[in-house]
């Protein structure tokens, strides 16, 4: 900047004596008008993009709200949400199933980790059926057929798990007959 100021001071007489060429002001006005139009277009595009962003935000939030409120009627209900009696039934079955699941998970007789993992995965897949029943119960809370299907699901899963444990115990008896007497006193009848 210092050099520019020095040049202007040294040549100030030339700047004061020379006039701009003919049509300079008209060309300057035209350039200024074009620049203002571009600025208006840019300002308009900024406004339009802001309006579009707000519109998109409103659309997304309304879709979220619709999904939240429409699914609230189809929420997962448990048996215990219906009555105290069903809550006790559900508590009984879930405790029994959890106990058997833990026994299967901790079983040392299943030597193959892949087999044990597959077995536990299949038991967990049975719960997807139960989740569907919970959704149905949420949509129809007083439908006795759904309630009975949920109880039957618990009974079926409990029976399958008991059968698995019984087979594992029979395998244990075949493999290790000496520990049978000790395990009889420690094991709980299934």
pLDDT at residue number 112: 66
If DSSP codes are grouped into helix, strand and coil, which group holds residue 190?
coil
pTM over 0.95: no
Q: Which residue has the higher pLDDT, 146 or 21?
A: 146
For 138-167, the pLDDT digits (tens) are: 888 788 898 899 899 999 999 988 888 888
Residue 190 has pLDDT above 50, yes or no: no
Q: Are the beta carbons of 110 and 119 closer than 8 angstroms?
A: yes
What span, in angstroms and rounded, lies between the C-alpha atoms of 38 and 138? 59
**DSSP output for 113-177:** HHHHHHHHHHHHHHHHHHHHHHHHHHHSTT-HHHHHHHHHHHHHHHHHHHHHHHHHHHHHHHH-G
Give the confidence band of 4 by pLDDT, cuts at 50, 70, 90.
Answer: confident
């Amino acid at each position: 900047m210092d050099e520019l100021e020095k040049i202007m001071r040294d040549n100030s007489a030339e700047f004061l004596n020379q006039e701009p060429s003919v049509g300079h002001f008209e060309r300057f006005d035209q350039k200024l008008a074009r620049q203002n139009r571009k600025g208006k277009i840019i300002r308009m595009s900024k406004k339009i993009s802001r309006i579009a962003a707000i519109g998109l935000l409103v659309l997304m939030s309304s879709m979220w709200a619709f999904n939240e409120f429409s699914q609230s009627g189809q929420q997962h209900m448990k048996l215990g949400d219906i009555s105290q009696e069903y809550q006790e039934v559900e508590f009984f079955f879930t405790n029994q199933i959890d106990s058997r699941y833990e026994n299967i998970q901790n079983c040392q007789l299943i030597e193959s980790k892949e087999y044990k993992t597959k077995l536990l995965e299949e038991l967990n897949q049975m719960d997807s059926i139960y989740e569907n029943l919970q959704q149905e119960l949420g949509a129809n809370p007083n439908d006795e057929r759904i309630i009975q299907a949920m109880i039957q699901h618990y009974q079926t899963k409990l029976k399958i798990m008991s059968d698995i444990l019984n087979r594992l115990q029979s395998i244990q008896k075949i493999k290790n007959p000496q520990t049978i007497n000790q395990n009889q006193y420690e094991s709980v009848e299934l």
